Amino acid sequence: MTRVAFQLQVRPELLDEYLARHSPVWPEMLAEIEAAGRRNYSLFLADGGTLVGYYETDDDTAAQAYLAASPVAARWEAEMGRFFIGLDGRPDQAATTLTEVFHLEDQLADAGGSAASDIDDNDTHNRNDTEGSAS
């Protein structure tokens, strides 16, 4: 399985309309995303219009090709293109892909199990309340 994250920049003056267009997405577009083999697909919006997307797939090249050939996706992406800054091409094909730098399950597997099992109950009481997650 491949995890894919990408970033786009939504035009600030079109943010409200962009959000409205995703609530809900066309049912036929949802079906095409699923048929392409993408799952666990989410979009996250940060301040200033930075949009980060994430999905999982078994074959991203095949998923991209499926959507590139889909008339439904072509219509959707043609309508979505105007919402983004600095994009050369269809949003689904031209978004900036992000590099994964950390994945908990991969590192746990490489370490041979759960890190939580290595922590003694007494150690958990000695943790500082300001400890946070990996970032």
Catalytic annotation, pick one of 22, 39, 75, 103: 22
Say which residues have a Cβ less than 8 Å from residue 74's Cβ, sequence separation at least 6.
Answer: 90
**Of all helices (H) and strands (E), which one includes residue 117?**
none
Q: How far is CA 18 from CA 43, 48, 78, 102, in A?
A: 12, 13, 13, 30
- In this structure, how many other beta carbons lie within 10 angstroms of the beta carbon of residue 74? 15
* Cross-sheet strand order for the sheet of 96-97: 39-45, 50-57, 2-9, 96-97
Annotated active-site residue 125? The verdict is: no
Instruction: Tell me: cis bond preceding 24? Omega within 30 of 0 counts.
Output: yes
Rounded to whole angstroms, the Cα distance separating 123 from 96 reads: 42
What residues are annotated to the active site? 22
